[in-house]
């Protein structure tokens, strides 16, 4: 399954989901180094500067089993986050979902909710039937977002992250045709 076969940007009422470009990397570096964003996103603690960002851009633009898009506020043309489908597997018609609204001034305005809806529509259009994700159990904002959308918790696990053990929920959503 080729993640790039359908057109981008994906346009919603308030957000446009579009590919990343090199000038976006300063934003990505800022989000990666924001402790609150990084903790929610379960990103690793290591250094993330210009070199790592370039590597990230190359890796995400080339990967066929992955669709990574920037979340831009349509009417301001401002990049505020990223979202992805990874591990896209045509055989099992499944993928993992991720979202980060890196600009904290935008939290609580429904940006993630709209983005999630658009990404699930895209996933269904790609022929995917099951979407999974991992979320820290204490990430109330994210858990509420996913539950409200219809994801349910399959199981709880504990993962080593940032020098500690983090209780996670593995959630999934079945997409209808």
Ligand X SMILES: CC(C)(COP(=O)(O)OP(=O)(O)OC[C@H]1O[C@@H](n2cnc3c(N)ncnc32)[C@H](O)[C@@H]1OP(=O)(O)O)[C@@H](O)C(=O)NCCC(=O)NCCS
Q: Which residues form the interface with ligand X (CB under 6 A)?
A: 37, 40-41, 99-101, 107-113, 133, 135, 139-142, 144-145, 148
Whole-number Å distance between alpha carbons of 6 and 25: 24
Q: Which residue has its beta carbon closest to ligand X?
A: 40
**Residue among 144, 150, 141 nearest 123 (CA):** 150
| Least Å from the CB of residue 23 to ligand X | 21
| Least Å from the CB of residue 163 to ligand X | 19
| Least Å from the CB of residue 99 to ligand X | 5
The smaller minimum CB distance to ligand X, of residues 108 and 127, is found at 108
Q: Are 79 and 71 in contact (CB under 8 A)?
A: yes
Neighbours of 73 (CB within 10 A): 17
Give Cβ neighbours of residue 129 (< 8 Å, ≥ 6 apart).
93, 94, 174, 175
Q: State CA 30 to chain mean position distance.
A: 16
| Least Å from the CB of residue 91 to ligand X | 25
The smaller minimum CB distance to ligand X, of residues 53 and 146, is found at 146
The smaller minimum CB distance to ligand X, of residues 57 and 135, is found at 135
């Amino acid at each position: 399954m080729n993640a790039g076969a359908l057109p981008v940007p994906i346009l919603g009422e308030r957000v446009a989901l579009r590919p990343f470009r090199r000038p976006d990397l300063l934003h990505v570096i800022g989000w990666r180094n924001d402790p609150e964003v990084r903790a929610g996103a379960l990103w690793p603690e290591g250094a993330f500067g210009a070199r790592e960002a370039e590597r990230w851009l190359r890796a995400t633009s080339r990967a066929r089993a992955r669709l990574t898009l920037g979340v831009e506020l349509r009417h301001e043309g401002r990049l505020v986050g990223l979202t992805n489908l990874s591990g896209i597997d045509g055989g099992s018609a499944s993928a993992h979902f991720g979202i980060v609204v890196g600009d904290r001034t935008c939290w609580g305005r429904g940006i993630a909710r709209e983005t999630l809806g658009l990404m699930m529509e895209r996933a269904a259009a790609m022929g995917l039937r099951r979407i999974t994700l991992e979320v820290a159990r204490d990430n109330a904002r994210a858990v509420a977002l996913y539950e409200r959308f219809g994801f349910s918790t399959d199981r709880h696990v504990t993962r080593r992250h940032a020098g500690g053990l983090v209780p996670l929920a593995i959630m999934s959503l079945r997409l209808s045709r």
